[in-house]
Amino acid sequence: MLPETLLLRLELMALSDLYTSILDNDRLEDWPGMFVDDCLYEIIPRENEEMGLPAPVMLCDNIRMLRDRVVALRHANIYEKVAYRHMVSGLEFTAAEDGTITATSSYVVVNTSLAGFSEVYQAGSYRDIIVRTEMGLRYKSRRCVFDTLKVQTLLAVPI
């Protein structure tokens, strides 16, 4: 018999893997669909997070903003094309009475530059709120709290 919490762990891993696969395979158009309509997505430096200073480098607070960002990225030429590879580990989570899941995990994103060099691009922590919808688990909130302050390139593509 599989304990409830291990089953949920497997589902959360599948969710995280899908998120990674979408971003790493440049299927940006599928990215907003991982969130509920009334969602929050932000990328914020760890220092600001810890001092309670809101100063995200990227902030979308509903699904239309996520979609707008994707459209903008597809039409913009101002940033260098990325080739991310997301590595994720350290999943820890709790499920509330109403089914809402609070989760954290560590991430390391390796990027390959146009010149062909692969380097650690950003390390940090995902802080998630996940809800169950008719279409499966979705992010209500995904906050990317990053350690890395010296980044190689403009941060335009979601982490």
Task: Considering the complex, state which of residue 58 and residue 65 has its C-beta at the smaller distance from a copy of itself.
Answer: 58
Task: Considering the complex, state which of residue 112 and residue 153 has its C-beta at the smaller distance from a copy of itself.
Answer: 112
| CB distance 112 to 97 below 8 Å | no
User: What residues line the site for a copy of itself (CB under 8 A)?
Assistant: 1-2, 6-7, 9-11, 13-14, 16-18, 20-21, 24-25, 46, 83, 85-92, 104-108, 110, 112, 115-125, 147-150
Q: Please state the closest distance from residue 97 (CB atom) to a copy of itself, in A.
A: 22
Query: How many other CB atoms are found less than 10 A from the CB of residue 117?
Result: 9
Phi, psi dihedrals of residue 62, rounded to the nearest 5°: -165, 170
d(CA 143, CA 72): 21
Which residues have a Cβ under 8 Å from the Cβ of 26 and sit 6 or more positions away? none
Q: Please state the closest distance from residue 67 (CB atom) to a copy of itself, in A.
A: 22
Q: Please state the closest distance from residue 92 (CB atom) to a copy of itself, in A.
A: 4
Q: Please state the closest distance from residue 103 (CB atom) to a copy of itself, in A.
A: 10
Which residues have a Cβ under 8 Å from the Cβ of 141 and sit 6 or more positions away? 39, 40, 41, 127, 128, 129
d(CA 72, CA 65): 10
Task: Considering the complex, state which of residue 64 and residue 81 has its C-beta at the smaller distance from a copy of itself.
Answer: 81
Task: Considering the complex, state which of residue 35 and residue 121 has its C-beta at the smaller distance from a copy of itself.
Answer: 121
